[in-house]
């Protein structure tokens, strides 16, 4: 839980020192910004936050987990072993997130006001300075404008780890995957960073999703029963699964001529579902038009009626 408290900021403490002492301390702090070899560090401080439990997660070659970070008296410190630069994400109790690039041997600094988390600053490396600048510059723009700016940045600087972070935020961690720009940008990143293991693993994970993204030709397995068709991926008695299945069946019946097939994730291996159908999460759906093309997938509930009518 986020607990309001009196404002404090460690970053302003140098102002109370004599000039010579402040300069000496600044040089000393700069010299200490290296983490131990093979270790990535981030230290943070908050205004208007006394204590909280944060989470850090990532999908790197050697970091695929959730860790817990405790904020105590407005501060936190986190260290993890890493073999290569890796995009990690801080997640707050209100589900606000800040992405940063953790690097072996580099110690980063995080500063934020808990009332304005979108204005958080992560410093300590060129990639994180660039990410912070991008976030602050585009924070108030519509999502479509942010995505366009992110694509332009990635095309200009594909070898920059900030580009990998922007790619994940705006093209991977999205509700609906856009096959054409995502495929093009991923190829550009992999060409610029050919030895990055995490990026290679991401490319492998995205391959079945991109093969079954909107606009792609549906695999033959999905067209044998007749077209147009709607596949619905469900999980047991999960409320959201039941609602999605009922809505798609209702809309398919209203349109007429649409085959609806339920695929229960309980009965199948998730890796098999991901590789065959490009499944990203449950519940989900995949709509195939009369020409055998994937017309839409993983739609928000309110978008189902219009998508089914167009099949």
Q: Are 300 and 260 a contacting pair, CB within 8 Å? A: no
Q: In this predicted structure, what is the pLDDT of residue 13?
A: 41
Q: In this predicted structure, what is the pLDDT of residue 61?
A: 83
Nearest one of 167, 161, 83 to 129, comparing CA atoms:
161
* DSSP tag of 159: T
What is the pTM for the complete model shown?
0.81
User: Which tokens belong to 151?
Assistant: 């694509």
User: Which tokens belong to 88?
Assistant: 């990690």
End-to-end CA gap in the chain: 46
Q: Who contacts 109 (Cβ-Cβ below 8 Å, separation ≥6)?
A: 33, 42, 43, 44, 122, 123, 124
Q: What is the edge-to-edge ordering of all strands in the sheet holding 75-81?
A: 97-102, 86-91, 51-58, 66-72, 75-81, 39-47, 107-113, 121-123
Q: Looking up tokens 């332009």, which residue turns up? A: 152
Q: Is 161 exposed, middle or buried (0-12, 13-18, 19+ CB in 10 A)?
A: buried
* Torsion sign across C-alpha atoms 235, 240, 241, 242: positive
In order of their start, the domains of the chain are: 10-127 (2.60.40.1120), 143-211 (no CATH), 220-309 (3.40.30.10)
- State the SS3 of 176-237: CCCHHHHHHHHHHHHHHCCCCHHHHHHHHHHHHHHHCCCCCECCHHHCCCCCCEEEEEECCC
Q: In this predicted structure, what is the pLDDT of residue 28?
A: 43
Q: List per-residue pLDDT tens for the chain, 311 residues long.
A: 333 333 344 443 434 445 544 444 444 444 446 778 899 999 999 999 999 999 999 988 888 889 999 999 999 999 999 999 999 999 998 889 999 999 999 999 999 999 999 899 999 999 999 999 999 999 999 999 999 999 999 999 999 999 999 999 999 998 888 888 999 999 999 999 999 999 999 999 999 999 998 888 898 888 888 899 999 999 988 999 999 999 999 999 999 999 999 999 988 888 889 888 999 889 999 999 999 999 999 888 899 999 999 99
Exposure of 164 in the CB half-sphere (CA atoms within 13 A): 31
| Alpha helix positions (H), 3-114 | 19-31
Q: Who contacts 233 (Cβ-Cβ below 8 Å, separation ≥6)?
A: 241, 263, 265, 273, 277, 279, 282, 283, 284, 285, 286
Helix 197-211 and helix 179-192, axial crossing angle in degrees, nearest 10: 160
């Amino acid at each position: 839980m986020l607990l309001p408290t009196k404002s404090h900021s460690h970053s302003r403490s140098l102002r109370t020192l004599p000039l010579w002492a402040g300069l000496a301390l600044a040089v000393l702090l700069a010299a200490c910004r290296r983490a131990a070899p093979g270790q990535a560090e981030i230290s943070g401080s908050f205004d208007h936050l006394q204590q909280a439990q944060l989470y850090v997660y990532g999908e790197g070659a050697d970091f695929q987990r959730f860790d817990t970070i405790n904020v105590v008296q407005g501060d936190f410190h986190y260290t993890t072993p890493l073999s290569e630069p890796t995009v990690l994400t801080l997640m707050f109790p209100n589900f606000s997130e800040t992405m940063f690039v953790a690097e072996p041997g580099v110690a980063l600094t995080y500063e934020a006001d808990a009332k304005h988390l979108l204005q958080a600053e992560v410093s300590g490396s060129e990639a994180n300075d660039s990410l912070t600048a991008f976030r602050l510059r585009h924070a108030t723009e519509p999502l479509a404008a942010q995505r366009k700016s992110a694509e332009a940045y990635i095309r200009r600087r594909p070898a920059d780890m900030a580009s990998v972070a922007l790619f994940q935020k705006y093209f991977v961690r999205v509700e609906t995957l856009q096959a054409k720009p995502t495929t093009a940008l991923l190829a550009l990143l992999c060409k610029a960073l050919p030895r990055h293991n995490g990026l290679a693993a991401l490319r492998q994970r995205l391959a079945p999703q991109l093969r079954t993204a909107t606009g792609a030709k549906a695999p033959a397995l999905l067209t044998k029963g007749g077209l147009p068709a709607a596949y619905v991926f469900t999980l047991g008695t999960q409320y959201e699964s039941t609602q999605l299945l009922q809505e798609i069946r209702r809309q398919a019946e209203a349109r007429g001529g649409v085959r609806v097939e339920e695929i229960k994730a309980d009965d199948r291996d998730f890796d098999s579902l991901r590789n065959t159908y490009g499944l990203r999460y449950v519940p989900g759906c995949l709509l195939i038009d009369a020409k055998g093309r994937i017309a839409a997938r993983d739609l928000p509930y309110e978008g189902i009626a219009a998508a089914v009518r167009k099949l």
